[in-house]
A and B are shown apart, each in its own frame.
Chain A
Amino acid sequence: MKLLTHNMLTSHVKGVVKGYPLVIKATEVKVNELEFNAQFVSRMIPKLEWSALIQAAEWLGQSQDLPSTLIPNYEKDEDFLRKVHRILLEVEVIEGCLQCPESGREFPISKGVPNMLLDEGE
């Protein structure tokens, strides 16, 4: 699971109001190399919940001096974009779980795949 995906995921446990972001508890993390596409990354940034991304990076120990708030004119900052590219698309959680911040319900991540299925009645 990449952090770009994590940024979109939320807890859908019944009755939960504050289910975002899901807490990442990773036991195995991989960093891949992916071709850098500055345009793609800068287009992604406005779609993100920036604070959730920073939080996720922290949980994985991959903060890498990313600013806690978005800097203006980030589209021109290649250095910045490369950092975002890395954290967003190259860091991958292989094993671990995602935890609902309100209910504590854990969703397992196995072989890079989060299983978000709820049981009947949840």
Chain B
Amino acid sequence: MESSMDRLKCVRRSKEEKKLLRRQIKISHTLLKHEGINTVSHPTKHLVVSNGGLGNGVSRESLLEVLKEGGTVESLLTPPAKPYAFVTYSSIEACQNAYTFLNGRALQCQEEQSVTIYFSYVEKVDSDRSVPCALPPGLLVLEDVVSPEEELQLLHAVDWTPHTDDVTVDSDRSVPCALPPGLLVLEDVVSPEEELQLLHAVDWTPHTDDVTVQKALKHRRVKHYGYEFRYDNNNVDKDKPLPDGLPAECDALLQRCLADGHISVLPDQLTVNQYQSGQGIPPHVDTHSAFEDTILSLSLSAKTVMDFKHPDGRSVAVVLPERSLLVMKGESRYLWTHGITPRKFDVVPVLEAGGSGVMTSDLSNLTLSRRGTRISLTFRKIRHTPCSCAYPSACDSQRLPPPPTVPVAEGDACRLESQYVHQVYEEISSHFSSTRHSPWPQVRDFLLSLPPGSVLADIGCGNGKYLGINPEVMSVGCDRSANLVQICIERGHEGFVSDALSVPLRSGSCDACISIAVIHHFSTQERRQAAVRELIRLLKVGGRALIYVWAMEQEYNNQKSKYLKERTTGTSMENGKELKTEENKTNQPEKHDRKMSSDIKCTEDGFGNVTQPRIHVHTNRTAFLSQDLLVPWHLKGNADKNKGATSSSTDVPVDKTSQSPVFHRYYHVFQQGELEEMCFSVAGVKVLRRYHDQGNWCVELEKTHYTSSKDDIAQEKV
């Protein structure tokens, strides 16, 4: 519209210039169509630079260098991830200059490729949204034309009432500028000389060890000092410290951290990671039970950007400059996840002072930073007691492991029983024994009914409370728990350690057998049946067996069992007191798992794959909601430490209120008739009695004739 412009236009256009013009027009259309950028044909102070953005690998610096050739640049806006930028010149003349002479210029971008940049005038540059503010002619946007109430009415009328599903949290748009609580980035904590020393000390010369580590972790290379960190369970082998401690070269830095109060104890574990450009680490929280609170991470050789995410969706990107120390404490250590996106470039703010800080939304101040090979040294202190942080949702000490599923295969059944029966009884044996002292009256009656001189085997004898009831009878007990059998011996009884599915006693050597509160610990029907068959095998013909198992129906004939009756209301029954009830007695109530009802049954997915139902944790002193359960045991007293229990007590979940370890025992509780049904399927057996006794289903059996194992199998199939 200005005459100078007309004059420029009058210049004859070459073929190349025409081509350029065509390209430019095409790009203008694209910008408008996809980005809502409205270009104008008359000169202004502002230009949109197509193909000159952070999103297509053009750095601010390289673009600026070229733009300056046009004239004095007032501002340059480079929106992240966009293939364009906006430049404002100090005058229209300068802008025109740039437009004329820089249009179609080739620019070197980061990937050693070149791009061609094109310029178009824009009316105005809005630095917040990088979109020009001119509306198309004739367009108006009138705001608040309907009230929120009218809005809902209209939505309802067209049946689009919003509900929770529609609400999305666009975490990319949330702009927190503060670091996660407890996070600090300390810059220049080591000098360049110290940096070299440390790099040398952790020595990245490849040798055979590294090859296996590299195989295990497909991405970054890793090395450990002090203790080996295991990636299969994200924990540390606390019983197997590595022979050498931390390299001596780290001492100076760690002492400084101690002196400055960033840490209160010296770390005893170091993990060295090498991240090449394009490598990263997925978002994670460092295992609570493995390490104490403050975690230090030193960045050497290169900087990077680490992303922190809060469970509520908030996300903060933190620049970690070379030779800086990241200090993670409290919430940033226990609750926020941290990770490094595997990329070759990061978008970073350009700051005068230094290179750290959070990402900002200040689009006038961003550039690209190519990743170098960064070596991180992460210093941590091994934790030896359960974690009791204020963030239980992320805490493996306070949170229970995911519930197991009802097993089908023999191997899975064995493993489940090993974890949730055998190991538990070994750990709790003393406490357990102290709560099991009074015999069930009807069991006592059975024992006293045996003829003098009978041989009795108590399969699953526990602490041996039934072994001395009838002195006229030769009693021997066996149990899976060595600690419990030990208690039997100490009380003067005879016992040995054995599995109820394979008892090393000669067939037909017993006049009577008892199995009190044992078979409900087997996790498959096959194994439960096998246990009954084994009892029968031990009996001579005419011999009797008595079996007690927990009943699902704790109330029978409208009478609540003692287990249900003695419901505590918060206060625990201490093991010091005389306990009145027996097998079913456990202590404190526990938080009920609400998900239980929905996944009690097997579920089938669309492909016909059946998933086994989960075994949930039962709430003590309430009715059983499913047949396969984990029943809590709150351990009191630490007498078991001397018994050589294998599991480390620091890995056992802890009850938050009492701080006592909680153990879970697996039970399959029986429905009415189920035990009987099972006994019918065993060959050579007659059911003499069946009854309900204090929350147990009970059967008394007689062996009617000798059977070989083949007969049993045939019988089962009938």
* A binding-site residues for B, Cβ under 8 Å: 1-2, 4-5, 8-12, 20, 39-40, 43-44, 47, 107, 111-118, 120
Taking a contact as CB atoms under 8 Å apart, the answer to whether A47 and B474 are in contact is yes
- CB pair A113 B489 closer than 8 Å: yes
Count B interface residues, CB 8 Å.
26
Chain B contacts for A44, CB-based, 8 A: 453, 474
- Say how far A122's CB is from chain B's closest CB, in angstroms: 9
Instruction: For A20, list chain B residues within 8 Å (CB).
Output: 506
A8-B476, A40-B453, A111-B489 known; A117+B506 contact, CB < 8 A: no
Q: Contact between B474 and A1 (Cβ–Cβ < 8 Å)?
A: no
Q: Are B414 and A120 in contact (CB under 8 A)?
A: yes
Bound-state Cα–Cα, A112 to B488, Å: 10
Tell me whether A8 and B497 are in contact (CB under 8 A).
no
Q: How far is the CB of A64 from chain B (nearest CB, A)?
A: 21
Instruction: Tell whether, in the assembled complex, residue A112 and residue B506 are in contact, meaning their CB atoms are under 8 Å apart.
Output: no
Which residue of chain A has its CB nearest to the CB of B472?
A: A40
Assembled-state Cα–Cα distance A107/B486 (Å):
16
| Minimal Cβ-Cβ distance residue in A for B503 | A12
Q: Please encode chain B, from 435 to 475, with 1 for each CB lying within 8 Å of some chain A CB and 0 for all others.
A: 00000000000000000110100000000000000011010
- How far does the alpha carbon of A44 sit from the alpha carbon of B453 in the complex, in Å? 6
CA distance A43 to B504 in the complex (A): 23
Q: Are A117 and B497 within 8 A (Cβ)?
A: yes
Smallest distance from the beta carbon of A32 to chain B beta carbons, Å? Answer: 9
User: What would be 10 A-B contacts, judged by CB atoms less than 8 Å apart?
Assistant: A1-B496, A9-B505, A12-B502, A43-B452, A43-B453, A113-B497, A115-B497, A116-B498, A117-B480, A118-B499
- Residues of chain B with a CB closer than 8 A to A47's CB: 453, 455, 474, 509
B455 proximity list for chain A (CB < 8 A) = 8, 47
* Neighbouring B residues of A1 by C-beta, 8 Å: 494, 496
Q: Does B495 contact A (CB under 8 A)?
A: yes
- Which residues of the partner chain A approach B480 to less than 8 Å between Cβ atoms? 117
- Judged by a CB distance under 8 angstroms, whether B685 is at the interface is no
Complex formed: what's the CA distance from A43 to B450 in Å?
13
Nearest residue in A to B422 (C-beta to C-beta)?
Answer: A117
| B530: interface (CB < 8 Å) | no
CA gap between A2 and B496 in the complex, in Å: 11
A4 partner, pick from B472, B485, B494, beta carbons under 8 A:
B494
Ranked nearest first, the 5 interchain pairs of A and B with the lowest CB-CB distance are: A43-B453, A115-B497, A114-B496, A12-B504, A116-B498
Interface of B is mostly: mixed
Select from chain A the residue with minimum beta-carbon distance to B498.
A116
- Alpha-carbon gap, A103 to B485, bound state (A): 26
Known interface pairs A20-B506, A40-B472, A44-B474. Does A113 touch B453 (Cβ–Cβ under 8 Å)?
Answer: no
The distance in angstroms between the C-alpha atoms of A113 and B494, with both chains bound, is: 8
| A116 engages B504 (CB within 8 Å) | yes
- The contact of B486 among A39, A111, A118, by CB within 8 Å, is A111
Which secondary structure dominates where chain A touches chain B? Answer: mixed
Check if B502 sits within 8 Å of A8, measured CB to CB: no
Which residues in B have their C-beta under 8 angstroms from that of A4? 474, 494
Q: Say yes or no: B505 contacts A8, CB within 8 Å.
A: yes
Contacts of A5 in B (CB 8 A): 476, 494, 496
Checking B471, B495, B499, B505 against A113 with a beta-carbon cut-off of 8 angstroms, the contacting residue is: B495
A47-B474, A112-B489, A118-B502 provided; 9 other pairs, C-beta below 8 A? Answer: A8-B509, A9-B496, A9-B504, A9-B505, A10-B505, A20-B506, A113-B482, A115-B496, A118-B499
Closest partner residue, chain B, to A11 (CB atom): B504
Report the minimum CB–CB distance from A59 to chain B (whole Å). 18
- What is the minimal beta-carbon distance from B195 to any residue of chain A, in angstroms? 53
Complex contacts, B502 vs chain A, CB 8 Å: 12, 118
A115 to B452, CA, bound (A): 29
Complex: how many Å from CA A39 to CA B581? 36
Q: How far is the CA of A107 from the CA of B485 in the complex (A)?
A: 15
Interchain CA distance A114-B494 in the complex, whole Å: 10
In the complex, A20 Cα to B509 Cα: how many Å? 13
Which residues B544-602 have CB closer than 8 A to chain A? Answer: none
Find chain B residues with CB under 8 A from A114 CB. 496-497
**A40 contact set on B, CB distance < 8 A:** 452-453, 471-472, 474
Chain A residues, Cβ within 8 Å of B496: 1, 5, 9, 113-116
Tell me whether A113 and B504 are in contact (CB under 8 A).
no
Residues from chain A with a CB closer than 8 A to the CB of B414 are: 120
* Residue ID in chain A nearest B497 by CB atoms: A115
With the chains together, A39 CA to B472 CA distance in Å? 9
Distance of A114 Cα from B496 Cα, bound (Å): 5
Our pick among A10, A111, A113, A116 for the contact of B506 (Cβ within 8 Å) is A10
Complex Cα distance, B480 from A39, in Å, reads: 33
Residues of A within 8 A of B486 (CB): 111, 113
CB B454 to nearest CB in A, in angstroms, measures 9
Chain B residues with Cβ below 8 Å from A9 are 496, 504-505
Pair A116/B497 contact, Cβ less than 8 Å:
yes
Which chain B residues border A10 with CB–CB below 8 Å? 504-506
Separation of A43 and B505 alpha carbons in the complex (Å): 19
Residues of B within 8 Å of A111, CB to CB, are 486, 489
Residue from A12, A39, A107, A113 in contact with B452 in the complex, judged by beta carbons closer than 8 Å = A39
Distance in angstroms from A93 CB to nearest chain B CB is 11
On chain A, the residues within 8 Å of B489 by CB distance are 111-113
Measured in the bound complex, the distance between the Cα atoms of B488 and A2 in whole Å is 13
- The CA-CA distance from A11 to B498 in the complex, in Å, is 12
Residues of chain B within 8 A (CB-CB) of A12 are 502-504
CA separation between A40 and B505, bound complex, in Å?
Answer: 21
